[in-house]
Amino acid sequence: MTRYDTVVIGAGTAGLTTACHLAQSGQKVLVVAKGIGALLLASGSIDVLGFHPADSLTPVKNPAEKLDDFLADRPDHPYNLVGKETLKTGIDQFLQLVNQAGLDYQGDLNRNWMLPSGMGAVHPTCLAPASMVKGDLSTDESMLIVGFNELRDFFPALIAQNINEQKLGVEAGSISLEINIPIAGAMNATPIELAHAFEQDAFRNQVIKAIAAQAKSYDRVGFPAALGIKQHATAVAHLEKQLNRPVFEISSLPPSVPGRRLYEALKAALLKAGGRLIIGSQIVEGTIENGRITQIRMETASRLKAVIANHYVLATGGIFGGGIFADAEGMVTEPIFNLPVAADTNRHHWFEKKFISPTGQPVFNFGVKANSRLQPLNGDSQPVAENLYVAGAVIAGSEWTRGRTGEGIAVATAAAITAQITSQAAKSLR
Partner 1 sequence: MSTDTVIDKVTHSIWNQVQYSADLCIKCNICTSHCPVTNVTDLFPGPKFVGPQAQRFRNPKDISVDASVDYCSGCGVCSMVCPHGVKVMEMNAKARYKLYQKKPIPLRNRLLGRSELLGMLGSPFAPIANFMMSVRPVRIITEKMMGIHRDAPMPIWSFETFRGWFKSVHSKSPNRKISPKRVAFYHGCSTNYYEPRVGKAAIAVLEHNGYEILLPDQVCCGLPMQSNGEFGAACKNAEKNIKSLVAYAKQGIPIVGTSTSCTLSLKSDYQHILDIDTEEARIVAANTYDICEFLLDLADAGELKTDFNPVDFTFPYHSPCQLRAHNMGLPAIDLMEMIPGVKVDHIQAECCGIAGTYGYKVEKYDIGMAVGKPLFDHIKASGSKIAVCDSETCRWQIAGATGAKMIHPVELLAKAYGLQDFYFN
**Given the rule CB under 8 A, which residues bind partner 1?**
1-3, 30, 33-38, 40-41, 182-186, 188, 190, 192-193, 196, 254-255, 260, 267-268, 271, 276, 278-282, 298-303, 305, 321-322, 327-329
- Note whether 78 and 395 are within 8 A (CB): yes
What is the closest distance, in whole angstroms, from the C-beta atom of residue 310 to partner 1 in the complex? 16
Residue 94 beta carbon to partner 1: minimum distance, rounded to whole angstroms: 22
The residue (of 35 and 53) whose beta carbon lies closer to partner 1 is 35
CB of 396 to partner 1, least distance (A): 22
Nearer to partner 1, 322 or 383 (CB): 322
Strands 3-9 and 29-33: parallel
CB of 196 to partner 1, least distance (A): 6
Distance linking the first and last C-alpha atoms of the chain: 25
- Nearest approach, Cβ of 207 to partner 1 (angstroms)? 18
- Closest Cα partner for 125 from 199, 37, 225? 225
Comparing CB distances to partner 1, the nearer of 212 and 279 is 279
Contact residues for 182 (Cβ-Cβ < 8 A; gap 6+): 196, 197, 200, 203
Nearer to partner 1, 30 or 137 (CB): 30
Report the residue number, 39 or 60, with the smaller CB distance to partner 1.
Answer: 39
> CB 35 → partner 1: shortest distance, Å?
3
**Residue 358 beta carbon to partner 1: minimum distance, rounded to whole angstroms:** 25
Gap between the Cα atoms of 411 and 415, Å rounded: 6
- Tell me how far, at minimum, the Cβ of 280 lies from partner 1, in Å: 4
CA distance 342 to 262: 31
- What's the min distance (Å) between Cβ of 63 and partner 1? 28
Instruction: Compute CA 12 distance to the chain's CA centroid, rounded to the nearest angstrom.
Output: 7
Output 64 or 278, the one with its CB closest to partner 1.
278
For residue 302, the minimal CB distance to partner 1 (Å) is 4
> Is 71 or 308 the residue whose CB approaches partner 1 more closely?
308
183 or 212: whose CB is closer to partner 1? Answer: 183
Residue 355 Cβ vs partner 1, minimum distance, rounded to whole Å: 16
Which residues make beta-bridge pairs with 390?
Answer: 314
| 147, 149, 152, 156 alpha-carbon torsion, rounded to 10° | 30
| CA-wise closest residue to 246 among 228, 221, 225, 223 | 221
- Closest CB to partner 1 among residues 67, 189: 189
Residue closer to partner 1 (CB basis): 403 or 406: 406
Cα–Cα distance measured from residue 396 to residue 381, given in angstroms and rounded to the nearest whole number:
14
| CB nearer to partner 1: pick between 256 and 405 | 256
